[in-house]
């Protein structure tokens, strides 16, 4: 795609430009995909402690299906990375029309307003829990300290900190992916302003996206660092950013092509969720490309169908769309509910056959806590802080 396929960049400094055909608005299908991702993260963290295959449901549901529900938390984070790259890049194109027109200060202000209030509040709660000696909050491994963890969380290197010193307690551990995502977005406006044209930036994103298997394999000797290293996660975000440039083209494909793209992306995602072991034996680290490019295809197809006016929300999936809209808040806070539920399960005898029953209240309570945080804190903070920052930078 050439830069000429986007609107003129002369209006790039507008903070609220009129909507155009290349906008990326709220998309019900994308919200469902985000909701599925955060749901799988929640199920993963429950499943590590109460595996579904060992409960009564294991007698009447296939284990490959139950394992797919319980053991795709890491893959789901990569789905988040691709979606995040797609949405953030799409919003940047809507506001500033082209890579060269991006207002870096406004971009950083928006990211700061969205990320920092919840991050600061969570770190404060975790620090208090550590100081009071609460179970699951205390940082006590060799080489780790409260000060080091706080510095890593705000310095966007908590993933590196864990790779060097070992896993932090579960309440802290969720912050590793935030470090990767925000480091990418620190560099994104700089890359846009240096390249200035889509025709220059897009090939760089392609190379970055294709580097995923190589960068993931580099860290084979350190299991934690391989899981949480910067470059593989940022390659996934770059895949989403690349998809946003493709999706923003003025020329729409046929309805059949867009639908086929959604079908291909869905099939690729399903293969990762349920037969990843088979794929991994054949393709090793390249299997991650199946995941990231499947999500990129799915996002692009969903966006094109939305622009064509043929996309309709799936009935009965409103709850999953709500999970998607609250994905950031649920991601940061769900371990409070998961750990509380697991402790109650243990108090009541840790009976694995009936363990599946504990999923029933835990999942909606994770949503409820995320909703309360969003409604009472993160959204008001985002709106207020963003307004102040944007006014300050003019």
Q: pLDDT by residue (tens digit) across 122-181?
A: 999 999 999 999 988 999 999 999 999 999 999 999 999 999 999 999 899 999 999 999
Q: Are 12 and 101 in contact (CB under 8 A)?
A: yes
What is the reported pTM? 0.91
Contacts of 333 (CB under 8 A, 6+ apart): 122, 366, 369, 370, 373
pLDDT tens per residue, range 57-66: 999 999 999 9
**pLDDT value of residue 11:** 31
Average pLDDT, the chain: 91
pLDDT tens digits, 339-385: 999 999 999 888 899 999 999 999 999 999 999 999 999 999 999 99
Per the CB < 8 A criterion, the answer to whether 228 and 162 are in contact is yes
Neighbours of 10 (CB within 10 A): 10
**Residue 15 predicted with pLDDT over 60:** no
Whether 241 and 88 have beta carbons less than 8 Å apart is answered as yes
DSSP string for residues in 62-74: -HHHHHHHHS-HH
- Choose among 171, 185, 173: nearest CA to 241: 185
Residue 10 has pLDDT above 80, yes or no: no
């Amino acid at each position: 795609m050439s830069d000429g396929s986007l609107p003129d960049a002369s209006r790039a400094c507008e903070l609220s430009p009129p909507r155009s055909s290349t906008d990326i608005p709220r998309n019900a299908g994308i919200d469902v995909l985000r909701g599925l991702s955060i749901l799988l993260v929640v199920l993963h963290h429950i499943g590590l402690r109460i595996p579904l295959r060992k409960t009564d449901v294991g007698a009447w549901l296939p284990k490959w299906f139950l394992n797919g529900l319980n053991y795709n938390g890491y893959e789901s984070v990569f789905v988040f990375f691709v979606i995040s790259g797609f949405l953030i890049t799409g919003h940047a194109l809507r506001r500033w029309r082209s890579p060269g027109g991006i207002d870096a200060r406004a971009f950083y202000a928006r990211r700061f307003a969205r990320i920092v209030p919840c991050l600061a509040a969570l770190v404060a709660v975790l620090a208090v829990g550590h100081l009071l000696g609460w179970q699951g909050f205390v940082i006590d491994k060799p080489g780790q300290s409260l000060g080091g963890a706080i510095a890593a969380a705000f310095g966007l290197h908590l993933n590196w900190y864990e790779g060097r010193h070992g896993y932090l307690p579960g309440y802290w551990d969720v912050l590793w992916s935030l470090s990767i995502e925000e480091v990418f977005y620190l560099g994104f406006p700089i890359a846009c302003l240096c390249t200035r044209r889509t025709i220059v930036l897009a090939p760089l994103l392609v190379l970055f996206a294709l580097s995923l298997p190589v960068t993931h394999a580099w860290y084979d000797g350190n299991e934690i660092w391989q899981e949480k290293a910067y470059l593989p996660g940022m390659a996934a975000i770059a895949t989403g950013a690349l998809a946003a440039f493709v999706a923003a083209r003025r020329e729409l494909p046929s309805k059949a092509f867009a639908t086929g793209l959604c079908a291909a992306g869905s099939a690729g995602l399903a293969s990762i969720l349920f037969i990843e072991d088979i794929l991994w034996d054949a393709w090793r680290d390249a299997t991650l490309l199946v995941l990231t490019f499947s999500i990129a295809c799915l996002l692009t197809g969903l966006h094109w169908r939305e622009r064509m006016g043929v996309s309709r929300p799936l009935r009965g999936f409103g709850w999953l769309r709500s999970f998607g809209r609250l994905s950031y808040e649920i991601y940061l806070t769900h371990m409070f509910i998961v750990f509380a539920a697991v402790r109650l399960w243990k108090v009541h005898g840790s009976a694995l056959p009936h363990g599946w029953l504990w999923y029933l209240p835990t999942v909606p309570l994770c949503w409820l806590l995320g909703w309360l945080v969003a409604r009472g804190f993160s959204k008001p903070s985002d709106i207020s802080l963003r307004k102040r920052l944007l006014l300050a930078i003019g």
